[in-house]
C-alpha cells in the first residue's frame, strides 16, 4: 500500500476511534490531529505530483498534435518531457518495491 494511503487509513481509524469515545484526553486529540495533518500533507504532495504530470502530458499532447510543423527545439522539448515522465514514474515504481519489501519484512 502506498505511504499516502497508509497514512490516510491510519488517520481515519484514529479519528473514528476518537469520535466514538465520550471521554478523550488532550494527548489523544493531539495525536489524532497530528496524524490527520500528516495525511493532509501527503495527499497534497501526491496531488501536486499528479497535476504536474498532467501538465507535462498536455504539453506533450500539443507537441504530438503539431508534429507536422515541429521545429527541432520543439521535438527536443517533447523528448525531454518523455524522459522526465519516465524518470518520475520509474522512481515511483522503485519506491513501491521498497515499500513492499519493508512491509513484507515486518
Between 95 and 63, where is the model more confident?
Answer: 63
pLDDT of residue 102: 67
**Cβ contact 70:88 at 8 Å:** no
64-93 pLDDT, tens digit each: 998 888 899 999 999 999 999 998 888 777
pLDDT of residue 103: 67
Answer yes or no: pTM beyond 0.75: no
Q: Give the pLDDT band (50/70/90) at residue 1.
A: low
Domain boundaries, the chain: 3-105
**Cβ contact 37:66 at 8 Å:** no
44-67 pLDDT, tens digit each: 998 998 999 999 999 999 999 988
| Cα(80)–Cα(48) distance, integer angstroms | 20
Q: Rounded to the nearest 5°, which phi and psi values hold at 24?
A: -135, 150
Amino acid at each position: 500500500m502506498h505511504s499516502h494511503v497508509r497514512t490516510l487509513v491510519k488517520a481515519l481509524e484514529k479519528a473514528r476511534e476518537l469520535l466514538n469515545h465520550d471521554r478523550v484526553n488532550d494527548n489523544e486529540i493531539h495525536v489524532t490531529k497530528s496524524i490527520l495533518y500528516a495525511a493532509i500533507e501527503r495527499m497534497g504532495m501526491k496531488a501536486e505530483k499528479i497535476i504536474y504530470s498532467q501538465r507535462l502530458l498536455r504539453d506533450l499532447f500539443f507537441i504530438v498534435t503539431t508534429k507536422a510543423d515541429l521545429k527541432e527545439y520543439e521535438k527536443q522539448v517533447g523528448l525531454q518531457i518523455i524522459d522526465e515522465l519516465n524518470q518520475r514514474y520509474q522512481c515511483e515504481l522503485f519506491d513501491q518495491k521498497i515499500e513492499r519489501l519493508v512491509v513484507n519484512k515486518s
